[in-house]
A and B are shown apart, each in its own frame.
Chain A
Amino acid sequence: MTGTLLVQQGGHSVVTDLGRVRGPRYGLPVNGALDQFSARAANILVGNHDNEPLLEITALDVRLRSTEDILISVTGASLTLTVGGRECPQWEPVSVAAGETISIRAMRGGLRAYLAIHGSVETPTLLGSCAPDTVVGFGHRLMDGDSLATRRSVRPIRQPYFDLPLFRLGLSRPGISTHPVIEVTDGPDIEEFGETAQKLFSGSYTVGDRSNHIGLRLRGDLPERQLTSEVLSRGVPVGAVEVPSRDELLVLHRGRGVTAGYPVMAVVTSLSLDALAQARPGHLITFRHTTVAEATANHRSAMRELDKLRTRVNTVFGLLGLQSGTTGSGANALESNQTA
């Protein structure tokens, strides 16, 4: 530990990572950052491994004060970021001097932002992950007056003459829409819905108020299951589209119970799950049909963007003499001999 991040205003924020991938085999949801692309990008931008603990900030304003010089980045939903009163860019590394306050407010256009700190923060883990699990009662939710131990100090990097952005690392950031198009592939149980499965693509759905990290509840024209037989519990994928009641469509997200007995009509793609993480109650959603091959290609293309960003960050950090923890997500070495 080198310093402390004091939580002046916690908002609705948690310490998380990319998820508890060893959880599902023990009956625990994977959880972790709901917008995985933004979370990875935030860590990469400060020279961390993709999976380091970082803050997931949902909707509400947050204020933090650091006792040390640190380097942060904020990604995800658009918002107003100020450090020591100066407005700073998102999706870029930002220097914070000891004693300065980081203020995140006026989130708009999305629901979740990610704040990563060079060197990350100290936090307990369960099955190899710090991601909160609300059912088990594990995880660190930021409370006003809390403090987080930061692991690395970084002397301030400042433009000497103007407050111009320092880095311009040029990530093509995903647009956040109030009417996103969500891509789905056919689910393993689509046949149980007969012709009504097509209703999914015929109109828009409204995100309901009871949506959370477990799942989004959508109102609209609902497909209907044509069978009434009881289904044995089985593993459900993150992204499963189900019709558990006559009122709502349920799209399961990363906090989903690992097993259930509802038929899976469709499955949201990995990339569209990131877009759903930014959907607010009241937003409209349109579904678009795709194939697993196309979804895989799109996911890989997004991951290649992150690989390029990682390379640029390593170069810049090397020039600045900054310690960079990134050797990649482990993906680069494999990529050459993989085909979709």
Chain B
Amino acid sequence: MGASTTIEVHEAGDAALRVVATTGDREHDWKTVHALAGWLDSSGMDGIHGAVPTYDSLLVEFDSHLTSARQVRAIVLLAMRQIDFVGATSRTPRQFEVPVVYGGQFGPDLARVADHEGLGVEEIIRLHTAKSYVIRCLGAPAGSPMMDGPDFPLPVPRLKDPRISVPAGAVSVAGRQAVIAPASAPGGWCVIGQTPLTLLDASREPLVPYLPGDVLRFHRISPEDFARYDGQPLEALP
């Protein structure tokens, strides 16, 4: 397959391009955009600030004084021909275990999500803790681990009125996605639980302990156990 048949490059202003992988194979598309991001980041190309890869798309940001949308498009197409997909995924994924208190004040939208899915609250928790999640990308706010969602029957709608503030540690779902909030921020996703662990450490680069490709599991703890973990950092399993 030629590069031009597997990605589309869209203009996104005079300082960014959006690259979308279009094979429809989610795993392949995700690897493509992350491999492209890695290639662009390590290319040291003048004027290219960096790349933000997510699930099937990539935002490439640049300074249009030093380069241009046209040049960056050409570079992306060149990169597509040079990417080593094997090399891009050779890092051994690390494993993370995340304790979560579900429902109540910790997960104010748990019942709403259960209603929407036509399932009981316990079944929602069971599905959420049942699988291992691959961290697909680091997103807003503050390097959130963004993952494919749990195996719910239906996509979860976003809140009609986003919250002004969602606390750090909030464990949320929306659409077919799942996430943990490393920092307090506004949010429109359904919050079903909260982890007492700290994800963010501003004295470290990067600020969060995980990278795209790492694997994360949730397990349930009781509200009484929240204080026992409170403030401990999230760390990869040995």
Q: Which residues of chain A have a CB within 8 Å of any CB of chain B?
A: 21-22, 24-30, 126-127, 133, 135-138, 185-188, 230-240, 256-261, 264, 267-270, 292, 295-296, 299-300, 303, 329-331, 334, 338-340
Contact = CB atoms under 8 A, between A and B. Distances in A.
A313 B30 CA distance: 48
B202 A237 contact: no
Contacts of B137: 27, 233, 259
A266 to B, nearest CB: 9
Interface residues of B, number: 57
A334 B66 contact: yes
Given A138-B202, A235-B54, A338-B66, A185 B140 contact: no
A41 to B, nearest CB: 14
Nearest to B157: A230
Contact of A292 (B58, B69, B138, B183): B69
Contacts of A135: 141-142, 183-185
Given A135-B141, A259-B137, A234 B13 contact: no
B52 A340 contact: no
A270 B18 CA distance: 16
Contact of A28 (B12, B57, B68, B142): B142
Interface in B115-139: 137-139
Contacts of B12: 187-188, 237, 240, 264, 267
Contacts of B224: none
Contact of A296 (B64, B139, B142, B184): B64
A25 B175 CA distance: 23
Contacts of A30: 49, 61
Contacts of A236: 59
A136 B13 contact: no
Given A188-B12, A234-B55, A257-B139, 15 more contacts: A21-B49, A25-B37, A135-B142, A138-B202, A187-B13, A188-B18, A230-B158, A233-B146, A264-B12, A270-B64, A292-B14, A295-B13, A295-B14, A330-B46, A330-B66
Interface in B11-63: 11-16, 18, 37, 41, 46-47, 49-59, 61
Contacts of B176: 230, 232
Given A29-B140, A331-B65, A338-B66, A136 B58 contact: no
A133 B140 CA distance: 12
Given A257-B141, A259-B52, A261-B175, A24 B59 contact: yes
B155 interface: yes
A295 B54 CA distance: 27
Interface of B: 10-16, 18, 37, 41, 46-47, 49-59, 61, 64-71, 137-144, 146, 155, 157-158, 174-177, 183-185, 200, 202, 205-208
Given A258-B139, A259-B139, A259-B146, A137 B183 contact: yes
A334 B15 contact: no
B50 A22 contact: yes
B91 to A, nearest CB: 16
Given A26-B206, A340-B68, A235 B200 contact: no
B57 to A, nearest CB: 4
Contacts of B69: 292, 296
Shortest beta-carbon contacts, A-B, top 9: A235-B59, A257-B140, A267-B13, A235-B52, A27-B143, A259-B139, A188-B10, A27-B138, A237-B16
